[in-house]
């Protein structure tokens, strides 16, 4: 989504009462949730000196919140269950500026990054903000990325994954066979329960021997499923450990092939440790 969306005529007429004649809004993005969590048709307008939140639906008719930038600092996007919110420090206290759905999260993340850069560098003029788009399909790139998920060569990714997994094809097949056996055993269990209820417990001619056989079969199936699950978990643990080891070795070999300078602070080992910590988190 663009960071300067043309607001409706009603909103544009109300903006005039909050800004000077010579002052124009630099950023305008929708606000689709109110503070109660209900859907709304609001807007966030950013000028050189002010941040304005305008609501214009029936739940909050003609309600505005106006903030001066000299009183705001430390903007951030905080994620919550089902929605996100824009927060800032207002005279030293954390204040919720507005709420929005996750569909607008990347837009607000971009706005927050530029606002924090603006305040940290004390720039008087707003920079030109343009979201990076894929030249092939026109979609906006994901956060902190310049790779388009829609245009990426999926066949190439598949070939690379196959090359990585090929040495462990035996473990993968064993894991699939164990999964199929466990699934088959779980499908047989209800059939034994049906026979137990219909032909043994409720039938007049039900025999004690049949009851013992069915109960023994159900117990055997339960033990079999537990055993297959334990074995499969051990196989998957071994497979995951081996794949992780190979991936780390490939990353480390890439680091070693880079032209490192002795004066650089970051070394391959420290970068690899940091990457491993990020994966664990």
pLDDT in tens, 252-272: 787 777 666 554 555 556 666
CATH number of the domain within which 26 lies: 2.30.29.30
Residue 116 has a pLDDT of 82
In contact, 228 and 242? CB cutoff 8 Å:
no
166 & 210 share domain: yes
Could you tell me the pTM of the whole model?
0.48
192 & 240 share domain: yes
pLDDT in tens, 155-203: 888 888 888 889 999 999 999 999 999 999 999 988 988 888 888 887 6
13 & 62 share domain: yes
Name the residue range of residue 106's domain: 9-121
112 & 162 share domain: no
110 & 200 share domain: no
Residue 182 and residue 184: Cα distance in Å, rounded?
A: 5
Residue 147 belongs to a domain = no
191 & 242 share domain: yes
* Total structural domains within the chain: 2
Residue at which a domain ends, from 69, 100, 121:
121
Residue at which a domain ends, from 121, 146, 165:
121
163 & 231 share domain: yes
* Concatenated DSSP letters of 159-182: HHHHHHHGGGHHHHHHHHHHHHHH
Residue 272 and residue 248: Cα distance in Å, rounded?
A: 8
In contact, 218 and 189? CB cutoff 8 Å:
yes
In contact, 86 and 67? CB cutoff 8 Å:
no
């Amino acid at each position: 989504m663009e960071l300067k969306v043309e607001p409706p005529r009603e909103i544009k007429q109300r903006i005039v009462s909050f800004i000077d004649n010579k002052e124009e809004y630099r950023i305008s993005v929708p606000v689709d949730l109110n503070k109660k969590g209900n859907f709304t048709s609001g807007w966030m307008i950013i000028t050189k000196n002010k941040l304005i939140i305008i609501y214009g639906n029936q739940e909050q008719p003609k309600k505005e919140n106006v903030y001066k930038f000299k009183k705001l600092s430390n903007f951030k996007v905080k994620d919550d269950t089902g929605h996100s919110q824009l927060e800032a420090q207002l005279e030293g206290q954390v204040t919720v500026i507005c709420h929005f759905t996750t569909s607008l999260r990347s837009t607000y993340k971009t706005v927050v990054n530029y606002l924090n850069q603006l305040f940290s560098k004390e720039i008087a003029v707003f920079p030109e903000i343009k979201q990076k788009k894929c030249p092939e399909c026109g979609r906006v790139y994901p956060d902190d990325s310049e790779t388009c998920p829609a245009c990426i060569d999926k066949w190439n990714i598949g070939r690379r994954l196959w090359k990585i997994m090929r040495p462990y094809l035996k473990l993968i097949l064993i894991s699939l066979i164990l999964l199929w056996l466990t699934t088959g055993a779980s499908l047989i269990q209800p059939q034994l329960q049906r026979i137990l209820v219909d032909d043994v417990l409720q039938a007049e001619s039900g025999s004690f021997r049949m009851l013992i056989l069915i109960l023994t079969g159900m117990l055997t199936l339960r033990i079999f499923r537990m055993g297959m699950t334990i074995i499969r978990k051990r196989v998957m643990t071994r497979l995951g450990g081996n794949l992780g080891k190979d991936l780390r070795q490939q990353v480390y070999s890439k680091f070693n092939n880079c032209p490192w300078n002795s004066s650089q602070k970051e070394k391959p080992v420290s970068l690899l440790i940091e990457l491993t910590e990020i994966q664990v988190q």
